[in-house]
Chains A and B, each alone.
Chain A
Amino acid sequence: MIKQDLNALEEKSIYIIREAKLKFKNIAALWSMGKDSTTMLALTRKAFMGKIPFPVIHIDNGIDFPETYDFREELAKKWNFKVIVGHSEIKPDLVGSACCGKNKPETLKKIMAEYGFDALIVSIRRDEHGIRAKERYMSPRDEKFRWNYKDQPAELWDDYTSKLDTKGHIRVHPLLDWNEIDIWNYVKRENVPVNSLYFSRNGFRYRSLGCTHCTVAVKSNAKNVDGIIKELETTKIEERSGRSMDKENEYVMQRLRQFGYM
Chain B
Amino acid sequence: MEVKSITLLGHKDHGKSTLIGSLLMQTGAATKVRIKEAEEYSKRMGKAFEPAFILDSFAEERTGEMTIDTTRAEIKYKNLAFALIDVPGHEELIKNMISGASYGEVALLLVSAKKDEGIRDQTKRHLFLSRMFGIEDLVIAVNKMDTRNFDEGSFLAVKKELSGFIGRIGFDTKRVTFVPISAYSGENLVKKSRKMKWYKGEPLIEALYESARRKKKQGNGALRLLVQGTIDDGAGIIGGKIVKGHLSAGEKIAILPQDQHAMVKEIVVKGKKVKKARVGENVAITLDKRMRFEMRGSVISNTDEKPRLTNKIRAKIFVVNKPGKSLCLKFNGIDLQCSGIKILNSINSVTGEKGPAKAESLNAIEAEIELEQKLPVEEFETTKELGRFVLYSGNEFTGIGTIL
Residues of chain A at the chain B interface (Cβ within 8 Å): 2-5, 8, 10-11, 14-15, 18-19, 21-23, 45-51, 53, 126-127, 129-131, 133-134, 136, 149-150, 152-159, 161, 163, 179, 236-238, 241, 250-251, 254
Contacts and interface: CB of A to CB of B under 8 A. Distances in A.
A149 B58 CA distance: 9
A236 B31 contact: yes
A105 B258 CA distance: 44
A126 B71 CA distance: 9
Contacts of A250: 37, 41
B201 to A, nearest CB: 26
B282 A47 contact: yes
Contacts of B392: 161, 163
B191 to A, nearest CB: 21
Contacts of B237: 49
Contacts of A157: 102-103, 384-385, 388
Contacts of A254: 57-59
Interface of B: 1-3, 29, 31-34, 37, 41, 55-60, 68-76, 81, 95-96, 98-99, 102-103, 228-232, 235, 237, 239, 241, 268, 270-271, 280-282, 284, 296, 320, 330, 332-333, 384-385, 388, 390, 392, 395, 397, 400
B169 to A, nearest CB: 20
B296 A22 contact: yes
A121 to B, nearest CB: 15
Contacts of A18: 228-229, 231, 239, 282
Contacts of A45: 271
Contacts of B231: 18, 21-22, 47-49, 53
Contacts of B99: 136, 152, 154-156
B271 A156 contact: no
B228 A19 contact: yes
B390 to A, nearest CB: 5
Contact of B3 (A8, A46, A152, A155): A8
The winner among A4, A157, A241, A251 for most chain B CB atoms within 10 A is A157
Contacts of A11: 241, 280-282
Contacts of B98: 154, 156
A141 to B, nearest CB: 16
A47 B270 CA distance: 6
For the complex of A and B, 4 pairs with smallest distance between CB atoms: A130-B57, A22-B229, A156-B102, A46-B270
A237 B70 CA distance: 25
Nearest to A17: B282
Contacts of A241: 33
Contacts of A134: 57-58, 69-71
B55 A2 contact: no
A57 B71 CA distance: 28
A156 to B, nearest CB: 4
Contacts of B400: 156
Contacts of A179: 74
Contacts of A21: 231
A251 B63 CA distance: 12
Nearest to B41: A250
20 contacts: A2-B29, A2-B76, A3-B1, A4-B1, A5-B1, A15-B282, A18-B229, A22-B230, A49-B237, A126-B72, A152-B99, A156-B388, A156-B400, A157-B102, A157-B388, A159-B390, A163-B395, A179-B74, A236-B31, A250-B41
Contact of B74 (A2, A49, A156, A163): A2
